[in-house]
Amino acid sequence: MTGALRLWAASCIAAFTVTCADAADLAPVPPPPPPPPGPIFFVHVGALGVFPQVNASSTGGGFFNTVLPGAGIGGGALVTIQNVAIRPQYTVGLELGYFVTPNVSIALSSGIPPLAHIKASGVAVLNGLLNPGSTLLGSVRYGPAILLLQYHFNQFGALQPYVGVGGAYVLNFGNISDGILRNFSVDQNFAFVLQAGADFMLTPNWGLFVDAKKAFYNTDAFGFLLNTNIPIRTHVVLDPWIATAGITFKY
């Protein structure tokens, strides 16, 4: 009888152990913790360079390439003004963005308005009756406000490329008649903008970025030649490249 009791007790213990193991196997496995939420906003701040690709041509109502003899300069001197040249400008750029989805964002890009010096690539006067002494036509302080729709590629880890497309309105903050054109002025206008860049995140919030934009932009410039009433009006195609590099912050 004692052996039977021992066998019965061993059987009960084994059955209880198997039941507990089965119950443990049937218990639900807790799901993995959700990934941290993606950023909602981002900020780009850095050094910005504008590199115009200038081409200019005369427009109606004035002269650009040639002032004909008899126009009132020195008894009929012939004045020629060749194409316009604008050196690169450098400033500080700022871009603020909002993530509509983890991959799609809208952004507003601008910067501290730089000063552009607009020069003629050559000014020649026949008969030596007029010496302008400078090729500077005038200067303008300007700044574009660029609105962009962007797509971000987030599947490459710390390296996060993006592309964008949008439009800009180039604001004129001041014309400066510091050259050979009196009453110098440059019109404001719209531009079409393409963008490509990349963020390299050093932490989930902080990183570095590089960015390039191509703006398709043209405008009109106007003034009077020196102390004469001869109008100089030109249609200027700028189409600048805009390069930026600096710090990115996402939160």
pLDDT confidence bin for 129, thresholds 50/70/90: very low
At 5, the amino acid letter reads: L
pLDDT computed for residue 15 by the predictor: 52
User: Is residue 6 in a domain?
Assistant: no
Candidate ranges 1-15, 64-78, 118-132, 211-225; pick with highest mean pLDDT: 211-225
Strand partners, 45: 94, 247
User: Is residue 5 in a domain?
Assistant: no
pLDDT digits (tens, 9 = 90+) for 166-189: 999 999 999 999 888 889 999 999
State yes or no: pLDDT of 246 exceeds 70.
yes
pTM of this structure: 0.78
pLDDT computed for residue 133 by the predictor: 57
User: Is residue 4 in a domain?
Assistant: no
User: Is residue 68 in a domain?
Assistant: yes
pLDDT computed for residue 57 by the predictor: 66
Which residues constitute the domain of residue 134? 40-250
User: Is residue 25 in a domain?
Assistant: no
Token pair recorded at residue 200: 């390299």
- Among 18-32, 166-180, 198-212, the range scoring the smallest mean pLDDT is 18-32
Question: Measured in Å, how far apart are the chain's first and last C-alpha atoms?
Answer: 76
User: Pairing mode, if any, of strands 206-225 and 181-186?
Assistant: antiparallel
Place of tokens 């507003």: 108
pLDDT computed for residue 60 by the predictor: 47
At 239, the amino acid letter reads: D
User: Is residue 35 in a domain?
Assistant: no
Residues 6+ apart with CB under 8 A from 77: 69, 125, 126, 127, 129, 130
pLDDT digits (tens, 9 = 90+) for 89-105: 999 999 999 999 999 99
pLDDT digits (tens, 9 = 90+) for 148-166: 999 999 999 999 999 999 9
State yes or no: pLDDT of 146 exceeds 80.
yes
Token pair recorded at residue 36: 């941290």
Q: Which carries the bigger pLDDT value, residue 88 or residue 120?
A: 88
> What percentage of the chain carries pLDDT values higher than 70?
73
pLDDT computed for residue 98 by the predictor: 98
100-122: average pLDDT: 92
Work out how many domains the chain is built from and give that number: 1
pLDDT computed for residue 62 by the predictor: 46
CATH number at residue 238: 2.40.160.20
User: Is residue 205 in a domain?
Assistant: yes
pLDDT confidence bin for 30, thresholds 50/70/90: confident
- Among 40-44, 125-129, 177-181, the range scoring the smallest mean pLDDT is 125-129
pLDDT computed for residue 161 by the predictor: 98
User: Is residue 8 in a domain?
Assistant: no
Q: Is 90 left (phi over 0), alpha (psi -120 to 50) or beta?
A: beta
